[in-house]
């Protein structure tokens, strides 16, 4: 078996991975491992924008941006991280500009900015223009720009190489208070090459996880088929906790019945939501900023309109996004792609007809816990030396219980850069950690099991049943009963998963095999999400419990931490340990969240 050696290995070539690679690649011997060709990463599908308080078109400052991010996240945001992100946003945009990104411009030649949900002037007084954009293809431009700059800096890519395990050794260590614990150290990752089926080891002094989100846990989602939460699940299986996994964002405007995203930029440019009576209903739910309220509020309001019988269409099961009052030339200039989606997939002409929309699973706020340097935490206070995470896979936590639109493209740039620098600097003084005796054993067993198991269950059917129960029971509205129902289903799906059989037994381009492994990741994460959701008996941000409709700061102003632990039982589930982590406050006291 081949063993490669690098100072820094970055797992993932989306925005976070490539932003990290640009930094690490200039400082240390770096490789990027990615299951997709880099420019196919989901960052390339991002539409609306990336925010920074540039104040190019109206008054703005990073302190307002910090406040909006914290309030948008319903106060579960770690405030030190939000400050870092809002402050460094300005350079993050300018870095991209200098790398060659073709932003839309104002007539004076400055980077243009537009409105997005939850971004406001002076602590909520009115919407502010903070999102920098390149039409509705901002993510595409970011991804291409970062890739070109990686090529320029001779970053080494291993494309269509799946990382399936992270190697963490453990040593006895003692805390300051004299108690002993097991300190984890990263020694590398284990890979599976799609084209050959070969398993290899990459030994590294530092490893950066940048594997993106897990939207495919749900059926109705804006996410690409590849977003199966691999990084989160791999870390979890090796004893790293997952933080705040109950918080999944449902984006208000997915194309009805399909989930394909229509960017919030549409509302930023002036589109409004209407119910079957033609009413602009957001005026009732968020009187000040209306259709530009944060996503959790808009998604809930839409679902509520449908519930109360004011939905549109033959089944009254969606609402309408109305752009008909906008000039066609304006739509073509600012929203060309998403309006084309409406024509192609729903046969609706947005110039003249409102577009049917309904919330779609979009973003995982939780993930692998890190501090503001991107260092991964093995518990509330202990860093795993050499292990980093950035982007949607990580929970730093800048998004708390609800992310504001355009804050993710920002997050991946700010914390991608930070973790790339930190990993490279760490590798300069660190030694390689010795590899375990049979480093690839776990992956060899996993692959052999999936390939050779001649069970009767089909991967696609288990995945469908998982996505169906998550859509039904873990959506915008949840309750103890529905979450428990989902959890029960997941447990039985896990049993069925043991009995899978795949048809392709070959080594070359065996996507059958990899989809089966990815389904294993999805099942693990769905279980963590539901257990976390069951435990949080309150409503906050993207997590709305009908049986506990209020935010409960006295009992739940803390992060959820779920650990894999064979000896523990949480919410009736064996093998999971529950803990909490304090939220970091700097200067913003939790307030009632009105918009």
Ligand X SMILES: Cc1cc2nc3c(=O)[nH]c(=O)nc-3n(C[C@H](O)[C@H](O)[C@H](O)COP(=O)(O)OP(=O)(O)OC[C@H]3O[C@@H](n4cnc5c(N)ncnc54)[C@H](O)[C@@H]3O)c2cc1C
Binding site for ligand X (CB under 6 A): 11-17, 33-36, 41-43, 45-50, 138-139, 162-163, 210-213, 222-223, 230, 261, 263, 363, 391-393, 406-409, 412
Q: Which one, 65 or 274, has the nearer CB to ligand X?
A: 65
We find the least distance from the C-beta atom of residue 35 to ligand X, in angstroms, to be 4
Cβ atoms of 592 and 272 within 8 Å: the answer is no
CA–CA separation, 450 and 461 (whole Å): 16
Residue nearest to ligand X (CB): 14
Class of residue 210 by CB neighbours under 10 A (exposed 0-12, middle 13-18, buried 19+): buried
Cβ atoms of 451 and 513 within 8 Å: the answer is yes
**34 annotated among ligand-binding-site residues:** yes
Residue 319 pairs in a beta bridge with: 357
**416 annotated among ligand-binding-site residues:** no
Class of residue 555 by CB neighbours under 10 A (exposed 0-12, middle 13-18, buried 19+): exposed
We find the least distance from the C-beta atom of residue 368 to ligand X, in angstroms, to be 11
**594 annotated among ligand-binding-site residues:** no
Of 233, 89, 97, nearest to 524 (Cα)? 233
We find the least distance from the C-beta atom of residue 67 to ligand X, in angstroms, to be 18
- Give the three-state DSSP class for 122: coil
We find the least distance from the C-beta atom of residue 375 to ligand X, in angstroms, to be 17
CA–CA separation, 519 and 511 (whole Å): 12
Is 114 tagged catalytic?
Answer: no
**532 annotated among ligand-binding-site residues:** no
**386 annotated among ligand-binding-site residues:** no
Active-site hit among 19, 137, 267, 295: 295
DSSP 159-199: ETEEEEEEEEEEEEEE-TTS-EEEEEEEEEEEEEETTT--E
Cβ atoms of 153 and 145 within 8 Å: the answer is no
We find the least distance from the C-beta atom of residue 159 to ligand X, in angstroms, to be 8
**577 annotated among ligand-binding-site residues:** no
Cβ atoms of 509 and 455 within 8 Å: the answer is no
Q: Which one, 14 or 25, has the nearer CB to ligand X?
A: 14
Token pair in block for residue 248: 């999944």
**210 annotated among ligand-binding-site residues:** no
CA–CA separation, 266 and 331 (whole Å): 9
We find the least distance from the C-beta atom of residue 169 to ligand X, in angstroms, to be 21
Q: Which one, 46 or 573, has the nearer CB to ligand X?
A: 46
Of 561, 481, 489, nearest to 528 (Cα)? 561
**434 annotated among ligand-binding-site residues:** no
**511 annotated among ligand-binding-site residues:** no
Task: State in Å, rounded, how far the first CA of the chain is from the last one.
Answer: 58
We find the least distance from the C-beta atom of residue 213 to ligand X, in angstroms, to be 6
Token pair in block for residue 441: 């054993």
Q: What are phi and psi of 559, to 5 degrees?
A: -80, 145
Dihedral over Cα of 174, 178, 181, 186: its sign: negative
CA–CA separation, 146 and 144 (whole Å): 6
Q: Which one, 240 or 534, has the nearer CB to ligand X?
A: 240
Cβ atoms of 190 and 164 within 8 Å: the answer is yes
Q: Which one, 51 or 483, has the nearer CB to ligand X?
A: 51
CA–CA separation, 537 and 552 (whole Å): 8
Q: Which one, 22 or 483, has the nearer CB to ligand X?
A: 22
Binding residues for substrate: 251, 263, 362, 403
The annotation places the binding site at 12-17, 34-49, 230, 251, 263, 362, 392, 403, 408-409
Catalytic residues, which ones?
295
Q: Residues at the annotated binding site for FAD?
A: 12-17, 34-49, 230, 392, 408-409
């Amino acid at each position: 078996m081949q063993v490669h050696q690098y100072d820094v290995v970055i797992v993932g070539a989306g925005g976070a991975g490539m932003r990290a690679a640009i930094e690490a690649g200039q400082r240390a011997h770096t490789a990027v491992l990615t299951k997709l060709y880099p420019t196919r990463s989901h960052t390339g599908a991002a539409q609306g924008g990336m925010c920074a308080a540039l104040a190019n078109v109206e008054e703005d400052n990073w302190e307002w941006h910090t406040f909006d991010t914290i309030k948008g996240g319903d106060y579960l945001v770690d405030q030190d991280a939000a400050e870092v992100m809002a402050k460094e946003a300005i350079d993050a945009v300018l870095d991209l500009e200098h790398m060659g990104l073709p932003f839309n411009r104002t007539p004076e030649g400055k980077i243009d900015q537009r409105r997005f949900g939850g971004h406001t002037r002076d602590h909520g007084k009115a919407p502010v223009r903070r999102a920098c954009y390149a039409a509705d293809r901002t993510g595409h431009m970011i991804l291409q720009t970062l890739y070109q700059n990686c090529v320029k800096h001779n970053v080494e890519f291993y494309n269509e190489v799946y990382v399936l395990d992270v190697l963490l050794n453990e040593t006895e260590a003692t805390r300051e208070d004299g108690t002993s614990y097991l300190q984890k150290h990263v020694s590398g990752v284990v890979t599976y090459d799609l084209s050959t089926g070969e398993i290899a080891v990459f030994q590294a002094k530092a490893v950066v996880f940048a594997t993106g989100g897990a939207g495919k846990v749900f059926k109705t989602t804006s996410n690409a088929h590849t977003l199966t939460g691999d990084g989160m699940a791999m870390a979890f299986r090796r004893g790293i906790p997952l933080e705040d996994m109950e918080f999944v964002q449902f984006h208000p405007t997915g194309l009805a019945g399909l989930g394909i995203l229509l960017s919030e930029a549409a509302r930023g440019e002036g589109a409004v939501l209407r119910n079957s009576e033609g009413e602009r209903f957001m005026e009732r739910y968020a009187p000040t900023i209306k259709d530009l309220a944060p996503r959790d509020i808009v998604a809930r309001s839409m679902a509520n309109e449908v519930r109360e019988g004011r939905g549109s269409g033959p089944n009254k099961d969606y609402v309408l996004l109305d752009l008909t009052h906008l000039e066609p030339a304006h739509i073509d200039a600012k929203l060309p792609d998403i309006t084309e989606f409406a024509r192609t997939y729903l046969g609706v002409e947005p110039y003249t007809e409102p577009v049917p929309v309904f919330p779609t699973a979009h973003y995982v706020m939780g993930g692998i816990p890190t501090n503001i340097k991107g260092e991964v935490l093995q518990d509330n206070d202990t860093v795993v030396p050499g292990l980093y995470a950035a982007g949607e896979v990580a929970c730093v936590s800048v998004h708390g219980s609800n992310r504001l639109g355009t804050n993710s493209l920002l997050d991946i740039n700010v914390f991608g850069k930070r973790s790339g620098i930190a990993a490279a600097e760490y590798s300069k003084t660190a030694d390689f950690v010795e590899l375990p005796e049979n480093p690839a054993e776990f992956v060899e067993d996993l692959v052999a099991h999936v390939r050779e198991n001649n069970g009767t269950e089909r991967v696609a059917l288990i995945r469908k049943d998982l996505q169906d129960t998550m859509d039904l029971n873990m959506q915008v509205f949840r309750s103890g009963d529905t979450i428990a129902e989902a959890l029960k289903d997941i447990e039985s799906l896990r049993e069925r998963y043991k009995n899978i059989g795949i048809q392709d037994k070959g080594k070359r381009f065996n996507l059958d095999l990899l989809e089966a492994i990815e389904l294993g990741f999805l099942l693990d994460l769905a279980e963590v999400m539901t257990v976390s959701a069951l435990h949080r008996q309150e409503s906050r941000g993207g997590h709305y419990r009908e049986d506990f409709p209020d935010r409960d700061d006295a009992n739940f102003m803390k992060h959820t931490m779920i650990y894999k632990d064979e000896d523990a039982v949480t919410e009736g589930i064996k093998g999971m340990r529950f803990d909490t982590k304090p939220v970091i406050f700097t200067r913003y006291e939790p307030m009632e969240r009105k918009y």
